[in-house]
Amino acid sequence: MIQLYHVSKRYPNGCDALNDVTLRIREGEFVFLTGASGAGKSTLLRLLLVMERATEGQILIGGRNIHVLRDSSVPFLRRNIGVVFQDFRLIKNRTVFENVAIALEIMGLGRKEIERRVNQLLEGLRLIQRAHSPVTDLSGGEQQRVAIARALVNEPAILLADEPTGNLDPELGHDIMQLLIDINRRGTTVAVATHDAYMIEHYGLRTLVLHKGKLLEDRPRVSVRPGQDVRPPPSPLVYGSPLAMQPPVAAAESSLASAADPDAVEAP
Ligand SMILES: Nc1ncnc2c1ncn2[C@@H]1O[C@H](COP(=O)(O)OP(=O)(O)OP(=O)(O)O)[C@@H](O)[C@H]1O
Ligand SMILES: [Mg+2]
């Protein structure tokens, strides 16, 4: 679904934000992208959205080389990618409904269809009671859910979320994570940038670790049976190897076991 081949990004000020990154995220996968502040997480997400262009290397999304995508084609790519920004980027003087509906209005859908889709989503995200409130009246967690609703309303194949649990209390953070996991179960490929070590440890999902712009580690998803810790040691460095495959994923009975990964191995 997403492939990076030897991707580097140097900003005009000379900062090397990404350095020779090669990785693959398969269709239906859920991955965390982690690393210290400045490691390059947001830069990687911005490259996938073509908000920035790579200085070197190739990026394929759904088999298309976005490195050579014309600016005029970028909006078509973005229709397939939902994005949740760390600072939400909601339109302040609009309601919850209007914030979510906007992507569908841009696509030219009729009012009835927009209402149907937006209300269904707001229902599912427990936001329907707030549909006609200005977003500024909402709590941080509610605004975060509006941002997620907006990212999902046009049913994208890929969801990118930058620190979606940042600045939320742990309980709300888990609610948001559960929501993203549910979305992934329904088939959306999800990539979440986070420096929240607790979340990463708790969910045991595949984790790509960036360090100063390099892909330092590609930790496979952990499968945990109740009362049993089967976390494998970190996988070998994939940096520099062309499209290194993940080690096989062991069986799992946790709630994440079938997180839309068609290649997951079932427990004997
Ligand atoms: N527009 C820009 N111009 C110049 N340098 C930039 C720009 N955006 C990011 N950088 C630099 O690129 C590096 C990677 O930044 P990036 O925002 O991708 O990191 P991050 O891993 O998302 O960090 P954080 O956890 O703080 O969000 C940093 O050194 C940052 O200062
Ligand atoms: Mg960032």
Contact 214, 21 (CB under 8 A): yes
Alpha carbon of 42 to ligand 1 centroid (Å): 7
Per-block mean pLDDT, blocks of 10 residues, the chain (268 long): 97 97 97 96 96 96 91 90 91 96 91 95 91 95 91 92 84 85 93 92 95 97 55 32 28 30 34
CB 72 less than 6 A from any atom of ligand 1: no
From the CB of residue 188, how many other CB atoms can be counted at a distance below 10 Å? 21
- Cα–Cα dist 102/233, whole Å: 45
- What are the structure tokens assigned to 180, written together? 């993203």
From the CB of residue 252, how many other CB atoms can be counted at a distance below 10 Å? 22
SS3 category, 257 = coil
* Amino acid sitting at position 100: V
CB 195 less than 6 A from any atom of ligand 1: yes
Q: Which ligand is nearest to the CA of 162?
A: 2
For residue 224, what pLDDT is reported? 54
For residue 87, what pLDDT is reported? 85
CB 42 less than 6 A from any atom of ligand 1: yes
- Cα–Cα dist 161/182, whole Å: 14
**What global pTM score does this model have?**
0.81
For residue 233, what pLDDT is reported? 35
